[in-house]
Structures are given as structure tokens and as C-alpha cells.
A and B are shown apart, each in its own frame.
Chain A
Amino acid sequence: MSNQASVLDNLEEVRAMIRRHKFNDYVFSIIGLIALMIGLLTLLTLFVDLVMDGYPRFTFEFLSEYPSRRAAHAGLLSAWIGSLLVMVVTFLSAVPMGVAAGLYLEEYAPKNWFSDLIEINVTNLAGVPSIVYGLLALGLFVYILDLGQSILTAGLTLGLLILPVVIVATREAVRGIPVAIREAAYAVGATKWQVVLHHVLHYSFGGILTGVIIGMARALGETAPLITIGALTFIAFLPPSPITDTPPFLNFEWLSSGFTVMPIQMFNWLSRPDHAFHMNAAATGALIIVVTLLMNGTAIWLRYRIRKNIKW
């Protein structure tokens, strides 16, 4: 009799234990979801905060005025044009170099200590704090190569900074292409470079583009290295126009011009005590966030599509 009772008791205990454990499971899944939501929530709060603080400045004049001592009249003109020009240099320096390096490492490099050395360096460079690139640029580009605190220096600095991003993206995109594609090309007599150029590069284009967009978005928001090379914050002029109306129609003087970029302008406005300037900073921040989120969003969407559509 008593034996049966204890079995029943035990059964109850076991059931209670199972209930408890299932409850723990449930609680943890909620905690986990909350933990993940913190990131999203921060992003939303941040954006709403910027828009609320900065909305009086969302005017056309804000984009067409130079910085000024009076907050209400200060604008972003020199900053967004500076950002654009710096991005052009960054793109032209980092993309060909990064893609070439990625192709070499995946398609050409023999498996030896030399390739290992390059690989270790790429991984390590991705972990170097961005401000250290600024120090490199200050010592090397500004003083040793005497390029000055120019758009060229800034573009090259950011180019070096995003080089690992482009290399890694290229390698991943190239690695996904089946060997059969290459063999088919070799079989009809293509040389190695023809295989790489016409097939490997062609099919990995989307993947490389994803990496390039993410890298450019990062370069656009990067502040510390450009401050380190001594970018000026008060620029009330525009660099010489790259396009002229007299032959040869192209002008490279803008490369050596002084500059400011949007994140530096924001940093400058933010470090002033006057609250009116904080409004400008908020408006700039909102603009930078919208542009970088759009770029990153495009890249993520692109990658998703590539992953979904390609069936070798």
C-alpha cells in the first residue's frame, strides 16, 4: 500500500520537475529574445532621438550652406561634398587592390609559408583599431610622402582601412564557385587569367559587390583616422571641381585640396557646448545613419538574393 503511494508521490515529483524544466525553457527563450531585441531597440531609440533633435534642420539650406559660427545658418555643403570625393578615392584605391589580392590568394597562391604570411596579415589588419590607420597615414602619407592633409590622403587611408573587408569578401565569393566551371573553361583552351577574368570574376561579382558596399559604408562613417591625419573642421570652400569646361575636361587639383567629411563635421558640432550646434549634429547623424543603413541594407539584401538564386 505504502509502496504504491510513494510511487505516486514520485510520479508527482517527476511531473513537477518536468513542468519546472519546461518553464525554465520558456523563460530562457523569452530572455534570449529580449537580449536580441536590445540591439534593435537601441538602433530605433538612437534614430528616433536623432530625428527628434535634428528635424528643424532637415531643410534644403542645411545641405547647401557652408559651416558657420551661427548654428542656424551652418550647413553641410563642404562636408557632404568632401565625403563624396573621399569615397571616390577610397573606392578607386581599395577595390582594384582588394579584388586583385583576393583573386591571388584564392586562385594563384601556392600553399606555402608565403601565402600563410599574407593570410595572417589580412586577418590581423581586420582587427587593427581604425585610429592606428590614422597614425600610419599621419606618419606615412602626410609627412613622409608629403601628400598633406588632403582628400587624396584621406581616401587612401580609408582605402587601406577597408582593404581587408574587400579581400575577405572577394575570397568568400570566389570560393563558392565550383571547380567544374574552371575546368570547363580550361578544357576549351582558356589561359588561367582568362578563366579568372571571364568566369571566376564574372560569377563572383555579386558577392564582391556586397563586400564593397559594406566596406564603403564603413568608410563613410569612419571618423577617428581622418581626425588623426588632421582633417580640418571649418571648411568654407569647395575643392576645385573635378570636371572642367575646357579640355581635357578633368582636373585633379581637388585631390590635394583640404577637406572635411560628414562624421567630422558632426563630431565638431557635437564637441561644442552650445545646444544649437547639437541640433546640427543630430541632423547630420540622422543623414549618416540613413545613408549607411541604406548601403548596408542593400548589401545584405543582395547577399540574400545571391544565396537564394544561385544553384550551380
Chain B
Amino acid sequence: MNTATQVLPNQTELKISARLAKNVRRHFVERVIEFLLMLAAMSAVATTLAIVAILLYESLSFFEHVSIIDFLTDTQWTPLFEDAHYGILPLVSGTLTTSAIALLVAIPIGTVGAIYLSEFASHKTRETVKPILELLVGVPTVVFGYFALLFVTPLLQKFIPGLPGFNMLGPGIVMGIMIVPYISSVAEDAMRAVPMSMREGSYAMGATRFQTAIRVVTPAAISGIIAAYILGISRAVGETMVVALAAGQQPNLTFNPMESASTITAYIVQVAMGDLPHGSIGYQSIFAAGLVLMLMTLIFNILGHLTRKKFRETY
């Protein structure tokens, strides 16, 4: 027994040990909570791993039946037909064509919009326009599919006689309008990150706003703007409902926007709508298609983040 406890009355001793016990418990609870929170954060890693694992696992069974050379070089994609061909090229061409049309629409509009928002718009205009752009992002894609199929395509048919009801042009344009807000908001962020002193230098030389925007701000923010484009590409490549509804779901190796075609995403939807038995080659083929899609968007996403990181380091 040490002297301190002998001096202290019994009651105080009890209190201290109770408090110590409480401290131990508190410490334990803290550790448990931290562990639980970490598990929650790990779910992001787990999801990525699960996606990769599932896609690889089912694709591997697919490639046991189909040689990878055929997959990459055959020009027909007919996994559900009697005479089955497994060439991914027609789906890739459809994906690339619709995405290219979307970008032809979205890049000019998005860039001009971003320059306007960053360099021309008053504070008030910006505060009104940005929420509206955000609302546009919130519109479900199936609704845009309706718009492409029953509004834009009939409208285009008035100007382009002979345009089939299912084509890549209509959905491409609608997808383009859909991704404008993504491009303009990332590009605007990049432009606003350009230091004010650079603009002031330009104005001091007598340049107008337009000249400053085009010759000073845009070049300074170029890597951020390019990152915006790349993220836009990745959006367009992964977009599903618009093309599934309006582009025609018929695999077709063509880059002609006036024709109907299927995309990787539209094919997956088409197969999933039917009732394919688990483990059949048709079932596995959507995972192989999904793997190609995932790789395409992954490459674009990584490129986008790398370019954006580069621009962040400049200032």
C-alpha cells in the first residue's frame, strides 16, 4: 500500500477507480468507433475491387469460349444469333460515333459558356445561371432519351430527309447538351484559378475582355480545360439510356451518324431486358462488353485527373 491511498478517504478512492474504469471504457469505445468508420471508408475500395473482380471473372469465362483475337478483330457482334460472332468493333464504333457527336456539340458550347461565366458574367448572372446548369445535370437520362427519340429526331428529319427514326445523330446531340454543364463547370473552375494579376497585366496593356479571355486566361487554364473535355468524353462513353432508346440497338460497324447503331452500353441494356440464363455465353458477353467500357472510361478518367493535377501545380 502506498501512502497516498492511505491518506485518501475510502470514498475518493472509489471515485478515482470508477473514473479510471470509465476512461478505459471510453477509450475502448473510441477505438471501436474509429474502426467502424474506417470500415465504412473501406467500402469505396471494396466496391472498386468488387467491380474489377466481377468483370474479370465473368469475362474470363467468356474468353474461354471466344478468342481474344476474334473479339478485337471480328467486324460482327451477334452473340445472340445462331451464327454467333463476337467482334466488339461494331459496338465500339457506335460508342465512339455517338460520343464524338456529343463532344462536337458540348465542347464549343461548354467552352464558350465557361469563358462567359468566368470572364464576362456579373456576380448576379453567375449566381443565377450556375444553379440552372446544376438542375440540368439532375434531369434523369431516360427523360433525355424520350427527348432524343420523340422530339430531336423528328425535328432533324424535317431538315435531313431520309434520316431513319433510329440514328446516332439525334442521341449524340442530346448527349452533347447533357454534358455541357460538366464541361463548363470544370473549365470555369480552371479559368477562375488563373491569378488575377495575369488579367490585370493584360488589361493594363489595353486588351479588351475578349482578348484577355482568349489570349491570356484560356492558354493559362488550358490543362484544366482539356481535363474538362476528357471528363466529358468519359461521361459520353458511359451514357446509356439516351442511346439505348434512340440509336436503334442494332450493332453496326459504321461511323456514319445518319445510320442506326448500338453502343456498348445499349447492348448491355438490350441483353438485360431479355431473360438470359445465368452462365450462358450471352450473359457473359455483357460482362466482357462492360470490361471494355470500364477500361475506356478508366483511361479517360485517369488522363483527366492527371491533366487537372498538372494545372493545379502550376499556380
Give A116-133 interface residues, CB cut-off 8 Å to B: 117-118, 121-125, 127-133
Q: Give the complex CA separation of A58 and B103 in angstroms.
A: 36
Contact between B30 and A191 (Cβ–Cβ < 8 Å)?
A: yes
Quick check: is B216 within 8 A (CB to CB) of the other chain?
no
**Of B41-49, B73-81, B254-262, the one touching chain A:** B41-49
Give B277-315 interface residues, CB cut-off 8 Å to A: 278, 286-287, 290, 293-294, 297-298, 301, 305
Quick check: is A92 within 8 A (CB to CB) of the other chain?
no
Q: Give the complex CA separation of A128 and B294 in angstroms.
A: 7
Decide: A289 near B140, CB < 8 A? Known: A50-B146, A124-B301, A135-B286.
Answer: yes
For A98, the chain B residues whose CB sits under 8 A away are 40
Quick check: is B33 within 8 A (CB to CB) of the other chain?
yes
Render A277-312 as a binary contact track against B, CB cut-off 8 A, 1 for contact. Answer: 010011001001100110111001000100000000
For A36, the chain B residues whose CB sits under 8 A away are 113, 116-117, 129, 133, 184
For B210, the chain A residues whose CB sits under 8 A away are 21, 24-25, 28
Contact between A129 and B140 (Cβ–Cβ < 8 Å)?
A: no
Q: Give the complex CA separation of A288 and B38 in angstroms.
A: 36
Please give me the residue from chain B that is nearest to A102 by CB atom. Answer: B41
For B117, the chain A residues whose CB sits under 8 A away are 32, 36
For A130, the chain B residues whose CB sits under 8 A away are 238, 240
Decide: A296 near B55, CB < 8 A? Known: A118-B44, A223-B140.
Answer: no
Quick check: is B220 within 8 A (CB to CB) of the other chain?
no
Contact between B109 and A288 (Cβ–Cβ < 8 Å)?
A: no
Quick check: is B132 within 8 A (CB to CB) of the other chain?
yes
Contact between A118 and B45 (Cβ–Cβ < 8 Å)?
A: yes
Query: Secondary structure of the B side of the interface?
Result: helix
Quick check: is B18 within 8 A (CB to CB) of the other chain?
no
Contact between A221 and B297 (Cβ–Cβ < 8 Å)?
A: no
Q: Give the complex CA separation of A127 and B239 in angstroms.
A: 11
Quick check: is B10 within 8 A (CB to CB) of the other chain?
no
Contact between A104 and B240 (Cβ–Cβ < 8 Å)?
A: no
Identify which of A49, A108, A133, A297 contacts B34 (C-beta below 8 A): A108
For A143, the chain B residues whose CB sits under 8 A away are 278
Identify which of B149, B151, B286, B294 contacts A270 (C-beta below 8 A): B149
Q: Give the complex CA separation of A28 and B116 in angstroms.
A: 8
Count of A residues near B, CB < 8 Å?
89
Contact between A134 and B268 (Cβ–Cβ < 8 Å)?
A: yes
Render A22-39 as a binary contact track against B, CB cut-off 8 A, 1 for contact. Answer: 101100110111011011
Q: Give the complex CA separation of A175 and B112 in angstroms.
A: 32
Contact between A35 and B272 (Cβ–Cβ < 8 Å)?
A: no
Quick check: is B198 within 8 A (CB to CB) of the other chain?
no
Quick check: is A8 within 8 A (CB to CB) of the other chain?
no
**Of A61-69, A159-167, A177-185, A247-255, the one touching chain B:** A159-167
- Within the complex, what minimum Cβ distance (angstroms) separates A170 from chain B? 11
Quick check: is A192 within 8 A (CB to CB) of the other chain?
yes
Please give me the residue from chain A that is nearest to B231 by CB atom. Answer: A127
Quick check: is A11 within 8 A (CB to CB) of the other chain?
no
Q: Give the complex CA separation of A264 and B268 in angstroms.
A: 15
Decide: A129 near B37, CB < 8 A? Known: A124-B48, A135-B55, A289-B140.
Answer: no
Give A222-276 interface residues, CB cut-off 8 Å to B: 222-224, 227-230, 263, 266-267, 270-271
Contact between B146 and A266 (Cβ–Cβ < 8 Å)?
A: yes
Quick check: is B147 within 8 A (CB to CB) of the other chain?
yes
Contact between A228 and B269 (Cβ–Cβ < 8 Å)?
A: yes
Contact between B293 and A100 (Cβ–Cβ < 8 Å)?
A: no
Give A128-176 interface residues, CB cut-off 8 Å to B: 128-136, 138-140, 143, 160, 163-164, 167
For A218, the chain B residues whose CB sits under 8 A away are 138
Please give me the residue from chain A that is nearest to B279 by CB atom. Answer: A143
For A108, the chain B residues whose CB sits under 8 A away are 34, 37-38
Please give me the residue from chain B that is nearest to A99 by CB atom. Answer: B40
Quick check: is A87 within 8 A (CB to CB) of the other chain?
no
Contact between A132 and B51 (Cβ–Cβ < 8 Å)?
A: yes
- Within the complex, what minimum Cβ distance (angstroms) separates A58 from chain B? 16
Between-chain CB contacts (< 8 Å), 23 pairs: A28-B209, A36-B117, A39-B113, A39-B177, A39-B181, A42-B136, A42-B147, A46-B143, A46-B144, A101-B41, A105-B41, A122-B44, A125-B44, A129-B240, A129-B297, A136-B47, A143-B278, A193-B30, A214-B138, A221-B142, A221-B143, A282-B150, A285-B143
Residues of chain A at the chain B interface (Cβ within 8 Å): 21-22, 24-25, 28-29, 31-33, 35-36, 38-40, 42-43, 45-46, 49-50, 53, 96-98, 100-101, 103-105, 108-109, 117-118, 121-125, 127-136, 138-140, 143, 160, 163-164, 167, 191-193, 214, 217-218, 220-224, 227-230, 263, 266-267, 270-271, 278, 281-282, 285, 288-289, 292-293, 295-297, 300, 304
Residues of chain B at the chain A interface (Cβ within 8 Å): 26, 29-30, 33-34, 36-38, 40-45, 47-48, 50-51, 54-55, 57-58, 108-110, 112-113, 115-117, 120-121, 129, 131-136, 138-147, 149-151, 177, 180-181, 184, 208-211, 213, 231, 234, 237-241, 244-245, 265, 268-269, 272-273, 275, 278, 286-287, 290, 293-294, 297-298, 301, 305
Query: Closest 3 interchain pairs by CB?
Result: A221-B140, A32-B116, A129-B238
